[in-house]
């Protein structure tokens, strides 16, 4: 006996279909969808899919999960794969109750190096100076990640200063 | 005090950078990568990222997770979003110890309706007949998911018959 779960994932609606196969006998067990409200933020929607799908897996304990194989061009293909990794990280972030923020690379590079067109090595060198630590020899992905964190830290600082300014001069905040 | 985790996700290497911000003081806490071996299957790689990233989140309990905002064209954008949903479902499938299988839609449609170019409604109607149940009015994503499960069920059946044939006729399997 074997339980097969067919899956049609989407960021709004995810289809679920469950069959039970016993020798040559195929029996319908369940079909339905997981819906994620488009009013929610994208990370929350992705996490709702994860949380609900976990419940579906616990309920049916499928032997196999079957999904559509997707063929895309070379560039779209790598974006698609990146989407998978990103979705999982977003999901876990929301589960861990961390806020999720996104910034464009160009802005991060500009903040760290002064130029939105800086390369990854220039970002690493600028970060070394800004944070006072050695990064050369570290993975470039790790310093890219640090640059994102640094960018947000400065954004927070700026926000705090603006709020403080408004507190000190209430008229200004009303303009 | 605020903990900011910068994240540079990838299906092979995911960069992590952690900063601690206390008033205007920005301190480096950690940087490193999560690597997923390219020898593993894609679902296993995606799940390794999820499992390892969960540990990272538990260790640093960031207030904010910061990721790169990505701009793509309209079509690539929807593929990218789909990638997120798909990645999360793959991850949960592997965590739940289900095998993950992928099939091209064309093959599934051909098996269910006789034509690889059938539309979603034709798939739904054909499935009603094959499984002996009423699907009209159900979400089309759910019947697409059922079609995937059905396709795999038949694949398993074919595989079993081929194996049996080889067992009954050992010479045949040696050819």
Quick: pLDDT tens for A42-59. Answer: 888 888 888 999 999 999
Chain B residues within 8 A of A144 when measuring between CB atoms? 6, 8, 15, 17, 68
Beta-bridge mates of residue B9: none
Q: Do you know the residue count of chain B?
A: 175
Rg (CA), chain A: 23
* Strand-by-strand arrangement of the B99-104 sheet: A25-35, A13-22, A2-8, A64-69, B99-104
Chain A residues within 8 A of B68 when measuring between CB atoms? 102-105, 108, 144, 148
The token duo for B141 is: 């994503």
Q: What residue ranges define each of the domains in chain A, with the CATH number in brackets?
A: 2-95 (3.30.420.10), 105-174 (no CATH)
Rounded to the nearest 10°, the torsion over CA A15, B134, B100, A68 is -60
Mean pLDDT over the full length of chain A: 85
Q: B20-27: list long-range contacts, CB under 8 Å, 24+ apart.
A: B21/A153, B21/A156, B21/A157, B24/A157, B26/A131, B26/A150, B26/A153, B26/A154
Full-model pTM: 0.76
**Across B6-23, average pLDDT:** 86
Rg (CA), chain B: 23
Quick: pLDDT tens for B15-45. Answer: 889 899 887 788 899 998 888 887 888 888 8
Taking an 8 Å cut-off on Cβ atoms, the answer to whether B19 and A146 are in contact is: yes
C-alpha span between B145 and A13 (Å, rounded): 12
Beta-bridge mates of residue A16: A7, A32
If one compares A29 and B173, the residue with the highest pLDDT of the two is A29
Taking an 8 Å cut-off on Cβ atoms, the answer to whether B143 and A15 are in contact is: yes
Query: Which ipTM did the prediction report?
Result: 0.75
Question: What pLDDT does residue B112 have?
Answer: 93
The token duo for A81 is: 């794969």
Taking an 8 Å cut-off on Cβ atoms, the answer to whether A19 and B147 are in contact is: no
Residue A8 is a catalytic residue = yes
Q: Which residue has the tokens 């694949």?
A: B155
């Amino acid at each position: 006996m074997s339980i097969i779960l067919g899956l049609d994932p989407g960021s709004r609606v995810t289809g679920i279909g469950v069959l039970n196969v016993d020798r040559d006998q195929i029996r319908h067990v369940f079909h339905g969808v997981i819906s994620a409200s488009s009013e929610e933020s994208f990370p929350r929607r992705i996490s709702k899919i994860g949380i609900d799908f976990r419940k579906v897996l616990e309920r049916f304990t499928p032997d196999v999960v079957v999904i559509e194989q997707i063929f895309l061009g070379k560039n779209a293909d790598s974006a698609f794969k990146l989407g998978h990794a990103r979705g999982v990280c977003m999901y876990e972030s929301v589960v861990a109750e961390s806020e999720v923020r996104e910034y464009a690379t160009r802005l991060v590079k500009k903040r760290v190096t002064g130029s939105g067109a800086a390369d990854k090595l220039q970002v690493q060198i600028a970060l070394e100076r800004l944070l006072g630590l050695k990064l050369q020899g570290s993975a470039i992905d790790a310093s890219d990640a640090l640059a994102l964190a640094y960018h947000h830290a400065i954004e927070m600082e700026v926000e705090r200063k603006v709020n403080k300014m408004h507190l000190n001069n209430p008229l200004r905040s009303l303009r």
